[in-house]
């Protein structure tokens, strides 16, 4: 059996870095919304890229309709984040009912999804409440991200119907903001197209499929404009382009183009809270992990910029949990083999989301490896020793401690003293021993 790689000592950790410490990249609102939209696809059980394609369709449609810059910006961000309220609205219901999120929010147009819900749930009122709340909560989250009010309005009303009978307000016709009418049409269009066997079939069948929604769910004028747009070969080439994220950044137009480090942190905090919402007893877990990781990173003498990036990584270490059903997250019993496989996919999901953010490629690797172990028995790659990035090992220690002092479905919260003893018992096997010994002096 080959020898294990040595675990770094505290002296090793204190030496000057052999590479430039990471710095927090200032990003635009569009950079962040395009990147984090992948996490929202995971949350509602839709194929990755759904929200981006909705944005592409909606923004193309907004241009065809001649919207001004403010309304166009509302469409752009509203489309990318249209279902940001899914997790806080639906996680509790899914835990209680034992359903996966896609049973409520999954890849079907609104009316088909409602029919399926009525067949599947005994308590229809709880489903209606979750559906109504996801648009309202989504609008509030958009405001927390400090995005345009037009985007919040688009999110709040994108499930209203032209003929009435939608939610949450039951508005009709021009009572519904134009931004929301456009996002609604783009959302339905993307799901209809994605449901076809290939692009050629989708293009041929799309006009007939979409017309079924005109005047009932969708505004006829918007449907007509979308059908006209869909006659162009360029529309379809863009929709299926592999570089659609770059296309969307080029399409952002006059929306806020300022680069901001503060906004990066704001997005990280909001999406950290969304990740925690998946677990009934996980509220605040990611922020507590970030606090612990920040203190530990300072204690091993990383410079200020590097510490800031470790904090960002710790905030987002569990963003991939948005792709894990809430019923699995809160299960008090031992997980089945299949459920464990689903749970163990979350670091890879986190990496997929974060590597789509400009300048976050290394952070994505740190997050992807925070469940690796010094003894080589972690996941997903069974790395050992110093094969595991220092930043990942820092996050792992803070993550375990934050979990230990919090009540969970299968146990109560441990005292700080008991949690420190558990950490020391994991040193050298599950956690880096020098980092553990340093951490227990900090808490």
pLDDT tens figures, 210-250: 998 988 899 999 999 999 999 999 999 999 999 999 999 99
pLDDT of residue 115: 54
Task: Say how many C-beta atoms besides its own lie within 10 A of residue 399's C-beta.
Answer: 23
pLDDT digits (tens, 9 = 90+) for 265-279: 999 999 999 999 887
pLDDT of residue 193: 96
Split at pLDDT 50, 70, 90, the class of 6 is very low
Is 313 contained in some domain?
yes
Split at pLDDT 50, 70, 90, the class of 124 is low
Is 388 contained in some domain?
yes
The SS3 of residue 260 is strand
Range of the domain at 225: 29-251
pLDDT of residue 76: 97
pLDDT of residue 163: 94
Split at pLDDT 50, 70, 90, the class of 132 is confident
Q: What six digits make up the tokens of 346?
A: 């979350």
Three-state SS annotation for 378-436: CCCCCCCHHHCCHHHHHHHHHHHHHHHCCCECCECCCCHHHHHHHHHHHECCCECHHHH
Of 23-37, 52-66, 69-83, 323-337, least confident by mean pLDDT is: 323-337
What would the mean pLDDT of 395-414 be, rounded to a whole number? Answer: 86
What would the mean pLDDT of 394-414 be, rounded to a whole number? Answer: 87
Q: What six digits make up the tokens of 127?
A: 């489903």
Better-predicted residue by pLDDT, 114 or 32? 32
Is 396 contained in some domain?
yes
pLDDT digits (tens, 9 = 90+) for 277-334: 887 667 899 999 999 999 999 999 999 999 999 999 999 999 999 998 888 877 777 8
Residue 10: pLDDT over 50: no
CB 86 within 8 A of CB 44: yes
Better-predicted residue by pLDDT, 108 or 344? 344
Peptide bond into 225 cis (omega under 30): no
pLDDT of residue 119: 47
Same domain, 137 and 271: no
Q: What six digits make up the tokens of 33?
A: 């919304």
pLDDT of residue 317: 97
Of 11-20, 190-199, 272-281, least confident by mean pLDDT is: 11-20
Which of 209, 228, 251 terminates a domain? The answer is: 251
What would the mean pLDDT of 396-405 be, rounded to a whole number? Answer: 96
Q: What is the CATH number of the domain that holds 161?
A: 1.10.3210.10
Which of 112, 89, 7 is closest to 43 using CA atoms?
A: 89
How much of the chain, in percent, has pLDDT values that exceed 90? 71
Same domain, 167 and 279: no
Same domain, 166 and 49: yes
Same domain, 346 and 417: yes
pLDDT of residue 331: 76
Same domain, 212 and 354: no
Same domain, 232 and 296: no
The whole-chain average pLDDT of the chain stands at 88
Is 319 contained in some domain?
yes
Is 4 contained in some domain?
no
DSSP designation for 173: G
What would the mean pLDDT of 175-192 be, rounded to a whole number? Answer: 97
pLDDT of residue 114: 52
Which of 197, 232, 251 terminates a domain? The answer is: 251
Same domain, 246 and 266: no
What's the rounded Cα separation, in Å, for the pair 227 and 210?
Answer: 8
Same domain, 245 and 267: no
What's the rounded Cα separation, in Å, for the pair 63 and 149?
Answer: 19
Same domain, 241 and 279: no
In 252-284, which ranges are continuous DSSP H helix?
Answer: 261-276
What would the mean pLDDT of 122-144 be, rounded to a whole number? Answer: 81
Of 23-27, 113-117, 273-277, least confident by mean pLDDT is: 113-117
Is 422 contained in some domain?
yes
Residue 72: pLDDT over 80: yes
Better-predicted residue by pLDDT, 17 or 309? 309
What's the rounded Cα separation, in Å, for the pair 62 and 151?
Answer: 13
Q: What six digits make up the tokens of 442?
A: 């900090």
What would the mean pLDDT of 25-48 be, rounded to a whole number? Answer: 94
Split at pLDDT 50, 70, 90, the class of 16 is very low
Is 5 contained in some domain?
no
DSSP string, 145-206: TT--HHHHHHHHHTT--TTS--SSS---GGGS-HHHHHHHHHHHHHHHHHTSSSHHHHHHHH
In 212-260, which ranges are continuous DSSP H helix?
Answer: 220-229, 233-239, 244-251
Same domain, 297 and 368: yes
Which of 192, 226, 251 terminates a domain? The answer is: 251
Task: Say how many C-beta atoms besides its own lie within 10 A of residue 250's C-beta.
Answer: 10
* Number of domains composing the chain: 2
Residue pointed to by tokens 């017309």: 211
Residue 159: pLDDT over 70: yes
What would the mean pLDDT of 144-153 be, rounded to a whole number? Answer: 96
What would the mean pLDDT of 44-60 be, rounded to a whole number? Answer: 95
Residue 96: pLDDT over 80: no
What would the mean pLDDT of 345-350 be, rounded to a whole number? Answer: 95
Residue 133: pLDDT over 50: yes
Which of 300, 304, 294, 342 is closest to 321 using CA atoms?
A: 342
What's the rounded Cα separation, in Å, for the pair 159 and 138?
Answer: 12
Same domain, 241 and 387: no
What would the mean pLDDT of 77-100 be, rounded to a whole number? Answer: 82
Is 1 contained in some domain?
no
Better-predicted residue by pLDDT, 203 or 216? 203
Same domain, 291 and 205: no
């Amino acid at each position: 059996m080959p020898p294990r790689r040595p675990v770094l000592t505290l002296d090793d950790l204190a030496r000057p870095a052999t590479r430039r410490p990471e710095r927090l990249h200032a990003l635009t609102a569009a950079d962040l919304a395009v990147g984090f939209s992948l996490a929202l696809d995971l949350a509602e059980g839709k194929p990755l890229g759904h929200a981006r394609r909705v944005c592409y369709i909606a923004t193309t449609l907004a241009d065809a309709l001649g919207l001004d810059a403010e309304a166009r910006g509302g469409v752009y961000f509203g489309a990318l984040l249209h279902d940001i309220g899914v997790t806080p609205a639906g996680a509790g219901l899914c835990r209680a009912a034992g359903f996966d999120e896609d049973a409520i929010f999954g890849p079907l147009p609104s009316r088909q999804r409602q029919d399926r819900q009525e067949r599947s749930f005994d308590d229809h009122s709880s489903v209606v409440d979750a559906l109504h709340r996801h648009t309202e909560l989504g609008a509030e989250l958009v405001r927390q991200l400090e995005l345009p009010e037009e985007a919040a309005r688009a999110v709040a009303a994108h499930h209203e119907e032209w003929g009435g009978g939608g939610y949450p307000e039951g508005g009709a016709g021009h009572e519904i903001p134009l931004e929301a009418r456009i996002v609604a049409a783009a959302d339905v269009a993307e799901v209809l197209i994605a449901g076809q066997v290939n692009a050629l079939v989708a293009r041929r069948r799309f006009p007939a499929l979409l017309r079924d929604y005109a005047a009932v769910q969708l505004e006829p004028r918007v449907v007509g404009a979308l059908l006209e747009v869909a006659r162009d070969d360029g529309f379809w080439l863009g929709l299926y382009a592999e570089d659609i994220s770059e296309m969307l950044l080029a399409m952002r137009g006059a929306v806020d183009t300022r680069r901001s480090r503060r906004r990066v942190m704001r997005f990280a905090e909001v999406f950290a809270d969304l990740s925690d919402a998946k677990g009934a007893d996980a509220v605040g877990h990611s922020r507590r992990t970030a606090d612990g990781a920040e203190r530990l990173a300072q204690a091993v003498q990383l410079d200020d910029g590097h510490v800031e990036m470790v904090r960002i990584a710790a905030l987002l270490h569990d963003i991939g949990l948005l792709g894990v059903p809430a019923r699995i997250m809160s299960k008090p019993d031992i997980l089945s083999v299949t459920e464990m496989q689903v749970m163990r996919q979350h670091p890879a999901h986190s990496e997929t989301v974060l590597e789509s953010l400009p300048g976050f490629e290394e952070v994505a690797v740190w997050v992807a490896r925070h469940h690796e172990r010094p003894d080589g028995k972690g996941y997903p790659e069974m790395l050992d020793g110093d094969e595991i990035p220092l930043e990942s090992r820092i996050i792992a220690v803070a993550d375990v401690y934050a979990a230990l002092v919090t009540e969970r479905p299968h146990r109560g919260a441990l005292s700080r003293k008991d949690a420190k003893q558990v950490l020391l018992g994991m040193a050298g096997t599950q956690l880096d021993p020098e980092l553990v010994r340093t951490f227990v002096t900090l808490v």
